[in-house]
């Protein structure tokens, strides 16, 4: 059996979600379970149009703004839904900030993406708010909302989730059929 190839693809506006995706790909490979399964993982931006058909499993995520995923991640999910449904898929949404995390609700897209892709799971991961990375309009919104500034990402939780994904892939042989990268 060849080693499972895991695509971690993401949409990020200011780099926080990209950093989460890159760390997740590293953790998948470095986790004890990942090492046993001899996983290969790579993090690629959704806007680069990676082909899920070339991968055995996919983790798809996006930063969340105003309750919605960014268009590149939503577009990839829609365009490649048929291929993604034939593979083990996990979803993640990045964005809540503060303690307790705000907003506390799941992103608006979570239910529709779950219905479309039938993923093995969806995680909402805390994000980072760095005012120096924001444009004028974004800073105005952050100020008006009195949003907490800081890095709220949970690296231990991300590491644990990577272990869960690696374990799931090790326990269930990945035998995704070859298929087109588009639609159903």
CA distance 95 to 128: 7
Report the C-alpha gap between 29 and 159 in whole angstroms.
11
Please, which pLDDT band fits residue 179 given cuts at 50, 70 and 90? very low
Domain 5-171 coded CATH 3.40.220.10: no
Beta strands in the chain (DSSP E): 5-11, 40-45, 57-65, 68-69, 89-94, 121-125, 128-129, 150-151
pLDDT of 80 above 80: yes
Q: Say what angle helices 71-79 and 109-117 make with each other, to 10 degrees.
A: 20
* The pLDDT of residue 182: 41
Q: Which long-range contacts (CB under 8 A, 24 or more apart) does 161-167 make?
A: 161/24, 161/123, 162/24, 162/27, 162/28, 162/31, 162/34, 163/27, 163/31, 163/32, 163/33, 163/34, 165/6, 165/28, 165/57, 165/59, 165/90, 166/28, 166/31, 166/33, 166/34, 166/37, 166/39, 167/33
Q: Are 39 and 8 contacting, i.e. CB atoms less than 8 angstroms apart?
A: no
Is it the case that residue 83 has pLDDT exceeding 70?
A: yes
The H-or-E segment that residue 92 falls in is strand 89-94
Q: Is the peptide bond before 161 cis (omega within 30 degrees of 0)?
A: no
Mean of pLDDT values over 149-164: 92
- What does pTM read for this prediction? 0.87
Please state which of the ranges 33-37, 136-140, 156-160, 165-169 shows the lowest mean pLDDT. Answer: 33-37
Helix (H) or strand (E) segment spanning residue 22:
helix 16-30
**pLDDT (0 to 100) of residue 113:** 95
Rounded mean pLDDT of 83-95? 96
Q: Where are the domains of the chain?
A: 5-171
Distance CA 17, CA 139 (A): 19
């Amino acid at each position: 059996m060849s080693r499972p190839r895991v695509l971690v693809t993401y949409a990020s506006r200011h780099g926080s979600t990209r950093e989460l995706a890159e760390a997740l790909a590293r953790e998948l490979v470095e986790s004890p379970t990942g090492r046993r399964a001899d996983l290969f993982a790579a993090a690629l931006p959704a806007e680069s149009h990676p082909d899920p058909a070339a991968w055995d499993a996919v983790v798809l995520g996006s930063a969340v703004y105003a309750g919605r995923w960014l268009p590149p991640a939503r577009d990839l999910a829609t365009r490649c839904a048929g291929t993604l449904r034939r593979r083990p898929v996990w979803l993640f949404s990045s964005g809540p900030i503060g303690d307790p995390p705000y907003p506390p609700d799941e992103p608006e897209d979570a239910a529709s993406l779950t219905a479309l892709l039938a993923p093995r799971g969806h995680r909402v991961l805390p994000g980072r708010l760095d005012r120096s990375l924001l444009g004028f309009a974004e800073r105005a919104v952050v100020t008006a909302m009195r949003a907490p500034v800081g890095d709220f990402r949970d690296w231990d939780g991300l590491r644990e989730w990577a272990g869960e994904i690696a374990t799931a892939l090790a326990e269930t042989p990945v035998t995704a059929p070859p298929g087109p990268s588009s639609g159903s």
